Amino acid sequence: MIEVRRASERGVAEHGWLSSRHTFSFGNYHDPAQVGFSDLLVINDDRVLGGQGFGQHPHRDMEIFSYVLEGALEHKDSMGTGSVIRPGDVQMMSAGTGITHSEFNQSKTELVHFLQIWIVPALRGVAPRYQQVNFPDDSKRGRLRLIISPDGRDGSLSVHQDVRVYAGLFDGAESQALEIPAGRHAYVHVARGTVMVNGLVLRDGDGARVREEPGLIVSDGDGAELLIFDLRPH
């Protein structure tokens, strides 16, 4: 079963400097039917104006990753990490026992567009940590590249949860199949463009809950970039 959630159904937050779309309940947007899916709690699609951003704020016991689509996102945290995240980069912050961080648009004039995604950890009270890896376009072109996994295999970032995340870029005849292990769920998020998943057309910002499907076939992309989450059912 595939349950599609269209981009237009998401929560909306407009703050002038920030334009955000919430796939799941977040902040002032609450929908009891949209409170995460398995261990996937938040997908925020954020656009931040030049020179603006999120000031220092705390997190605890959450796995948070950022996926930049356009521009450059500057990160600083209480572990002493300072970095700039650009398209192709994936940043993972395990908040654990507690961390504070800030995120700002590094440019004074250009927009930064990124996804911030929260995953509920299996372990609480772990030591905070920071990871950042670049996955070049050619590693995702016409295929689903593993970018996050519990054990960090194949150069992916590691996460404190039984979750695997794949990223792919698809155009035209490019196609890729992904097996979903028996008893598991999946979630599809289209970051941009248009793509077909198991015969369903999904567009920029659309998502889909996937249950009781043996696999997914991604095809017929038009400038498509998407993320697929392999999730435990609960």
Cα gap 72→35, rounded to integer Å: 29
Assign domain 2-231 to its CATH architecture: Sandwich (2.60)
Distances (CA, A) of 118 to 60, 138, 139: 12, 26, 24
What mean pLDDT value characterizes the chain?
A: 94
Q: Tell me: the pLDDT tens digits for 52-74?
A: 878 778 888 999 999 999 999 98
In the chain, how long is the greatest CA-to-CA distance?
Answer: 48
Confidence of residue 79 (pLDDT cuts 50, 70, 90): confident
> Is the confidence at residue 99, as pLDDT, over 80?
yes
Give the mean pLDDT of 130-146: 96
Alpha-carbon distance of 181 to 122, in angstroms, equals: 20
- C-alpha angle 189/29/234, rounded to 5°? 55
Residue 234 pLDDT > 80, yes or no? no
74 forms bridges with which residues in the sheet? 84, 104
Report the pLDDT averaged over residues 81-98: 91
Summarize pLDDT for 183-222 with one digit per residue, the tens.
Answer: 999 999 999 999 999 999 999 999 999 999 999 999 999 9
For position 101, what pLDDT does the model report? 78
